[in-house]
Amino acid sequence: MEKKNVFLIVKDVISEVLPDVDSDGVKIEQNLKSLGANSIDRTEIVMLSMERLGIKLPLVSFGGVENIEEMVDVLVDNT
């Protein structure tokens, strides 16, 4: 799947988990913490994104992720 399509899915999940965040304002270079996501929110965003993409990865795969783009890259590499 293309990176931009995965990013659109992740943006939708972010706005679902963080209802105060408008998905149109989410930029790929941002990190989830700057959007107000705590560790539970971040885990939920990763899990829901994987579910929507139909993939299963160990959460440790996202351990070194610094921003949304790096998370999207991990997801794209495994779709």
Phi, psi torsion values for 44, nearest 5 degrees: -65, -40
pLDDT of amino acid 1: 85
| Structural domains of the chain sorted by starting position, each given as residue range(s) with its CATH number in brackets | 3-77 (1.10.1200.10)
The residue ranges of the chain whose pLDDT is under 70 are none
Question: Residue 77 is which amino acid?
Answer: D
The model's pTM: 0.92
The alpha carbon torsion through 12, 18, 22, 26 (nearest 10 deg) reads: -70
Q: Please tell me whether residue 79 adopts helix, strand or coil conformation.
A: coil
